[in-house]
Copies of this chain bind each other. A is one copy, B any other.
Amino acid sequence: MKLTILGCHSATPRWDANPTSQVLEIKGHLFLIDCAEGTQVQLRRFNVKFSRIKHVFISHLHGDHFFGLVGLISTFRLLGREADLHIYGPKGIKEAITLQLKLGKSWTNYNLLFHELDSNEPELVFEDEKVIVTTIPLNHRVYTNGFLFQEKENERKLNIEAVKKANVSMSYYTKIKQGFDVTNEDGVLIDNKKITLAPPPSKSYAFCSDTVYFPQIIPQIKNVKALYHEATFLNEHQHLCERTKHSTAREAAMIADEAKVGTLILGHYSGRYGNYETFRIEAQEVFSNVELAKDGAVFEI
């Protein structure tokens, strides 16, 4: 899994600070997560092969998370895209996008498939043989979801020596890797565990932005390999969190600590702070493995 941060600042796009957008490369997919104004330029700047994007996940309908979507959709049209594009986002996103395309008489030549969300419970929104994506309902000023990206459990590995010893036909190897017990050439049922090795652990990434400190998400993101959690404020401005429904670096770290995640990645910094290293220092008082998002940063998960 490879995560590229296209933008990780809050509020308004500036010359050197882009609002939220990131791409996650996972099992051959290129998933776009949020799409602030300027995202298409950031995709070009960081040489992301963005024609490969087939699924876009939008957390909520604040401008700093979705005003770049209609432009990206239009650019795909101008570039002659033919592949379907799936958009997952809050109810209303379809109307917002299609109204603008209609006004410009700029309908796409490719299929634009909207999956509108309005549940307050986690929902499975995408699944194939290798990956599952689930919403993480958050608590913000408007309806908001984070997203949990999970690799499906990897196949077990054949213990070649044991398989041969057990006298199992090669035609069963696929079944064995999938975890099934099989009957050998002598008609004996062989316990799968005895002829396979445990698979490498499957990875997961949770994107949680924007949200107030919301420990209800902890069971769902337990043990994820990497958690991106918004940290708009430092603790000195914690009093602003309840009204704005944002979190501090310390609160993000509390979530990471309780969920026992591998790495915490902080982002969505308020523009009031000059030095983001203070976010890391504050978070590390609670949780040690902290990374700071910055535009253009790449995280191998």
Contact = CB atoms under 8 A, between A and B. Distances in A.
A187 B106 CA distance: 69
Interface of A: 11-15, 37-38, 40-41, 44-45, 60-63, 67-68, 70-71, 74-75, 78-79, 90, 92-93, 95-96, 99-100, 103-106, 141-142
A78 B41 contact: no
This chain: copies in complex: 2
28 contacts: A11-B75, A11-B78, A13-B38, A13-B71, A14-B41, A15-B45, A37-B37, A37-B40, A37-B68, A38-B41, A61-B100, A61-B104, A63-B70, A63-B71, A63-B74, A63-B100, A67-B67, A67-B70, A67-B74, A67-B100, A92-B103, A93-B103, A95-B99, A96-B99, A96-B103, A99-B99, A103-B142, A105-B142
A60 B105 CA distance: 11
Task: Pick from A78, A96, A100, A106 the residue with the most CB of B within 10 Å.
Answer: A100
A96 B105 contact: no
B67 A71 contact: yes
A10 B80 CA distance: 16
A75 B15 CA distance: 14
A69 to B, nearest CB: 10
Contacts of A92: 103
Contacts of A100: 61, 63, 67, 96
A41 B96 CA distance: 23
